[in-house]
Amino acid sequence: MTQPTLALIGTGGTIAGAASAASVSTDYKPASLSLAAVVDTVPELRQRYNIGVTQPMQLASYDVRPEHWLDLHAAVMQAVNNPHVVGIVVTHGTDTLEETATFLHLSVDSDKPIIVVGAMRPATAYSADGPANLLDACSVAACPGARGRGTLVVMNGRIHSGLWVGKRHVSSVEAFDSPLAGAVGEVADQAVQWFRAAGRAPTVAWQAPSAWPRVDIAVAYAGVDETAMRAFVAAGARGIVHAGLGNANTPTAYRAFIQSLPAQGVLVARCARFITGSVTRASVYADAQYGILTAGPLPPHKVRIVMLLGLAHGMDGPAIQAWIDRILLAG
């Protein structure tokens, strides 16, 4: 039987991390091993699949910047356009894994499965979870039922939508979940179980930007004022995500400043800071009147990616809001 061909793309992270001893699981150097070396630790990978390995970057994901996404996007598209490749697996550090997964989910228009996978424990640890996660990611990438779901994240036996997944624990191997949305499936050995029908959010009509616009996040807290937002505007921000209190609220004195930003050419999106739940468009903010965006349950760092992509593709506020609404409709 012909083995399925998978494209594995390495970017670094803890899945390629090394510590001073096997008993050490939190004090280590991410991105120490090449992806090819990690693949060699899991012999079943080459027994089950034709594996192609590329490594466009090698870094801890806390150093990933939107500029890196351009190289990653090009590497993913090369695999997508290879007719032999049935699925793509991106190995990545977990700190910004959900941001890269969201970026790919909203910018790669392909039915081929793209799986982003990482590990919470370095490759050298007794408790290393990378080998099992990588094997699971390949099982999902080769699964016909993974087609048409956009970018997925596979961690600790769970399959999540790249859009809804988030890291929820600093060190546990059970670190990822999808608040409110839930996992889309599970994988154990090579058995993949889906919990819902295939479907995905609409992507942007991707054109690699020559430069990313600046989009910042301003987190609200008791007593917050407009100092951070003013600094972002002075630094050239074209968009600011207001990570607000409760249903994306803010102290009354600060509200007028937020409302004034869209008229100055700075897009603002209201979303909730550390809690889940769908932010509603609010009459007290006069969102519609002032052109303030809302994004339901999307957390601040994901709303930032939508704004980055939208602004980089020439969308104005209403166009970005319409795209967000279509993303949320797709679930």
Q: Closer CB to ligand SIN, residue 173 or residue 295? A: 173
Q: Closer CB to ligand SIN, residue 62 or residue 126? A: 62
Q: Closer CB to ligand SIN, residue 14 or residue 124? A: 14
Distance from C-alpha of 5 to C-alpha of 51, rounded to nearest angstrom? 6
> Of the listed 11, 14, 96, 100, which one is catalytic?
14
Interaction between residue 125 and ligand SIN (CB under 6 A): no
Interaction between residue 30 and ligand SIN (CB under 6 A): yes
Q: Measure CA of the first residue to CA of the last residue in the chain; give whole Å.
A: 37
CA-CA-CA-CA dihedral for 242, 245, 248, 249, to nearest 10 = -100
Catalytic (active site) residue 14: yes
Interaction between residue 80 and ligand SIN (CB under 6 A): no
**Other CB atoms within 10 Å distance of the CB of residue 193:** 12
Contact pick of 8, 14, 115, 165 for ligand SIN (by CB under 6 A): 14
Output phi, psi for 153, to 5 deg: -120, 130
- Are 5 and 16 contacting, i.e. CB atoms less than 8 angstroms apart? no
Interaction between residue 32 and ligand SIN (CB under 6 A): no
Contact pick of 3, 22, 44, 62 for ligand SIN (by CB under 6 A): 62
Contact pick of 91, 94, 124, 294 for ligand SIN (by CB under 6 A): 94
Interaction between residue 60 and ligand SIN (CB under 6 A): yes
Contact pick of 108, 120, 163, 241 for ligand SIN (by CB under 6 A): 120
Q: Closer CB to ligand SIN, residue 120 or residue 233? A: 120
- Among the listed ranges 92-100, 147-155, 198-206, 214-222, the one in contact with ligand SIN (CB under 6 A) is 92-100
Interaction between residue 156 and ligand SIN (CB under 6 A): no
Interaction between residue 161 and ligand SIN (CB under 6 A): no
Interaction between residue 61 and ligand SIN (CB under 6 A): yes
Distance from C-alpha of 242 to C-alpha of 228, rounded to nearest angstrom? 11
Interaction between residue 118 and ligand SIN (CB under 6 A): yes
Distance from C-alpha of 50 to C-alpha of 4, rounded to nearest angstrom? 6
Minimal distance, residue 120 CB to ligand SIN, in Å: 6
Interaction between residue 107 and ligand SIN (CB under 6 A): no
Distance from C-alpha of 121 to C-alpha of 223, rounded to nearest angstrom? 38
Q: Closer CB to ligand SIN, residue 100 or residue 250? A: 100
| Contact set with ligand SIN (CB under 6 A) | 13-14, 30, 60-62, 93-95, 118, 120
The set of catalytic residues is: 14
